[in-house]
Structure 1
Amino acid sequence: MAQPASAQSLSLDDVISLSKTGIGDDAIIAKIRSSDTHIDLSVDQMVDLKTKGVSGPVIAALLAEKKPAEVKLSVDSPDPAVPHPAGVYLMDSAASKMMRIDPVVTNQAKTGGLLGYAFTAGIASMSVKASIQNPTARTHASEARPSFYFFFDESNPSVTSNTAAWASGTAATVTSPSEFTLVQLMAKKDRREARVGSVNIAGAKTGVMDKDQLKFDYKLVRPGVYLVQPMADLPKGEYGFMYSLTGGGAGGAITARIFDFSI
């Protein structure tokens, strides 16, 4: 099939022929810009074109760099090869689309086991919990082992506004799912909680307890894009991918950003 005229590159002979017809510089320049034409002309070629009737503006148009195509981002395409804004997405297989998860940030701390800690003079641990608003997540997964796609800044190198999704409070940004912890959140009446610290007579621990961490696996799909899946089915409940931000929250709780979802 014939290639569309707008996609054809112009040769120097084409440019010379058009110039000889007297069609005008504006038309020739418009054709150069609409086609995939950019030629790194030598001095001799420029002189030769001028002697054959090609004007200076047309020669300049041949030398002009083509502007890179604008990157169009999708927020719901199920294809990980399609550029998406940086962030975490839940794959909705039934609807054949991705759902972007808006993260929540918590730095409010609550304590649990305070009486046991007091009665045993610190032998029993007092837990520190990070509190998250709302009793359930806005994003719901219909599968017990859902699939997620993590889009990092590297996936869209030409987009300069990516880092807002991954700003960690320092000059560094998050670049891999290995920097996350998958946790089950404890549902309360008007909130959800995650244990992010403990205190006893032996000292204090900050971070998600080992027994509260859920294992997940991930693989690189393309630069900056990872497929992430839990390694076991998840029972109905509230969950979240969490990573710690710079600085500590109240009462020793870490300040964390959580990409929350429910099953």
Structure 2
Amino acid sequence: MEWFGNSSKSFDFDMFSRSHLIVVAIFLIITVAIFLNRKKMKSGIWRKIEISAALSLILFEITYHVWMYVNHDWKFSRSLPLELCNISLILCVILLLTKKKLVFEILFFTALLGASQAILTPALSYDFPHFRFFHFFYAHIMVVWVTLYFTWVKGYHPTFRSVIKLIVFINLLLPVILAINKWTNGNYWFLRHKPKGPSLFDALGPYPWYILSLEGLLVVLSLIAWLIFRKWEKEHHKDHSRSPVA
């Protein structure tokens, strides 16, 4: 059961190592496959796959918390599912189970801006074949795949209002996260201090101004993502309208 233990001596993760690059390659290949086969993925069997994917994410997450508890690593100050990637996973499960458009609108931005970045630059200590390696990449990759699946296959798409909804969602959560940080002496969303190591936060100004800078950056990146998708959608519909009618 060493692969499930807490010792990272035999599982030190290195960014852009062979195991990391293999995972990124699999992620990109299946992403392209989803896009190329988007018209074929509309049969009723995919509803069962959606439910199975939601249950697998729930099972993985429960197992992760059990792993932390067994290894005496579960703490209120850092183990609650409150980081944006955790919230994205929760939204992903809700979307798979309910297919609610509102959930997709928020997940679209948190997944593509957060989870995709985590896949490319993971904050991870455990390498293959440790459980934590599988949990980290499975959770983040599935969040992105589910988002793209609902975009390309199910026909969901973000709008400018989606960006507004994201901003409202983040700012409604902000005081809750601040209160939980105070209660647990935690640093969720890095709202109490910056990460200890070098990071993007260093370019966003001193505390507490970097919080405003970070929110401004989120808005700008969300608008860019929406504009890119809007342009792709227009070109897609233009090409579709030009295609001969059978």
Which of these two proteins has the greater Rg computed from alpha carbons? 1
- Using structure 2 for the length normalisation, give the TM-score: 0.20
TM-score, scaled relative to structure 1: 0.19
More helix by share: 2
Higher relative contact order by CA 8 Å / sep ≥ 6: 1 or 2? 2
Structure with the higher strand share, 1 or 2:
1
